[in-house]
Structure 1
């Protein structure tokens, strides 16, 4: 089974055919890219402080431009060091031009099991949702690389279970947090408000906050997509695994009727 990316060196990577974009198959779909950046900040963090690692609680990505299906470089750094809280950053560059940045808050774990709980909506069972082929609506290798069970509620509203068929990197362990962060950008194309033939609505960012450790292969997205009247949209998702909700995700959209 091939992966989404091949590691060329400590800082250099290249995409495989499974990263082809939905708006343009010759450009990288940003979903696997976001997962890779999360993985790389976790790898850097574990190497720096293996004795007391923090967890990636919030990941805020800015998408600075399109990314061709070519080799790229990733640099990581610590913006705000700390014993219990750190702010870290990863920058993906192609041909010397920054294309995607991640700023992540790493937080200390503590035992809050006695007061744990959340009011977020729960997902239906996977078996209760029909299978859906997103490749019937969208082109690109990334869309073809996922399994989806989806309940279409209405325009801009869906609930789905999603599972990647490929690892981010061959022969390299990747955390459940990085895996789920590598799936969240698919939400905008699964809960479609209008067909892609009617309008372009790519996102310029993605911010996710996870309040517990994800588990398993399947991740749930309870998603709503809203378009304003002046060309700006918003995609919001409650993120779940089989045990229940584990966080939220939001994407700011630039909406352009064709």
Structure 2
């Protein structure tokens, strides 16, 4: 099982596991977010051997994506020995649909300084299983294992993982495997019934101060709606060692009907 099949160096065919939650004829953007992160890491490893980690990822969602063939292009916008800015674009039928601008930063030994004041969350073994497909449609959501504690309207802590690979017969890094799940934050701590209110995100920006190590990915998520159609989903991202960064998604909030 996998979300994409590689057709050549730059072209990929989406599978039914990418099926979206808002419209089952369109892709959920989460696997594509992982695909662009993987493309940036592959480009990095072809050019250099120091494996700079992805520290800041800023995605702009330019349109919906049918479940079909997509093209990926990677360009280095700011080369450097210790810090790089790399841009990756996904297109469908010649139309850009998703753009990633990623900052890659050199490693230093700061183990004696490591720490965070972000609050820990209960681990996956202490969090009850949640039937996410009972609320959200689509093949991507159905491919996930999710555990969640609902704290209140728009507030939840959760853990997620998937047994579905990103690309057929291809290994991805633990970082990419985690990044592929970041976009589900918007569906974990719902503030309104998605059958009555649409609140898709137009972007996703993540800041990572520690590389994901694999396994379960944790979310401490807050969803906020304004009074004029704007919303924000903000998550503190965890792996099983503790907090590792944050993710934010800007929402367009639209009552249905």
Which of 69, 72, 80 does residue 70 from structure 2 map onto?
72
TM score, norm. by length of structure 2: 0.98
2:168 is the alignment partner of 1:153 = no
Equivalence for 1:217: 215
Equivalence for 1:97: 95
* Aligned counterparts of 1:142 and 1:216: Cα–Cα separation in 2: 19
2:78 is the alignment partner of 1:86 = no
Equivalent pair of 2:2/2:17 in contact (CA under 8 Å): yes
Counterparts of 1:1-258 in structure 2 under 5 Å?
Answer: 2-50=1-49, 52-258=50-256
Structure 2 SS opposite 1:168: strand
* Aligned counterparts of 1:195 and 1:83: Cα–Cα separation in 2: 48
How many equivalent pairs are there?
256
Give the Å deviation of 1:127.
Answer: 2.1
* Aligned counterparts of 1:216 and 1:236: Cα–Cα separation in 2: 21
Equivalent pair of 2:177/2:214 in contact (CA under 8 Å): no
Runs of 5+ unmatched residues, structure 1: none
* Aligned counterparts of 1:13 and 1:170: Cα–Cα separation in 2: 10
Give the Å deviation of 1:226.
Answer: 0.2
* Aligned counterparts of 2:180 and 2:129: Cα–Cα separation in 1: 21
Give the Å deviation of 1:188.
Answer: 0.5
Give the Å deviation of 1:237.
Answer: 0.2
* Aligned counterparts of 1:76 and 1:106: Cα–Cα separation in 2: 14
* Aligned counterparts of 1:206 and 1:26: Cα–Cα separation in 2: 22
Moved over 4 A (4+): none
* Aligned counterparts of 1:222 and 1:7: Cα–Cα separation in 2: 34
Give the Å deviation of 1:172.
Answer: 1.4
Give the Å deviation of 1:170.
Answer: 2.0
Structure 2 SS opposite 1:4: strand
* Aligned counterparts of 1:113 and 1:130: Cα–Cα separation in 2: 33
* Aligned counterparts of 2:112 and 2:104: Cα–Cα separation in 1: 22
TM score, norm. by length of structure 1: 0.98
Equivalent pair of 2:26/2:66 in contact (CA under 8 Å): yes
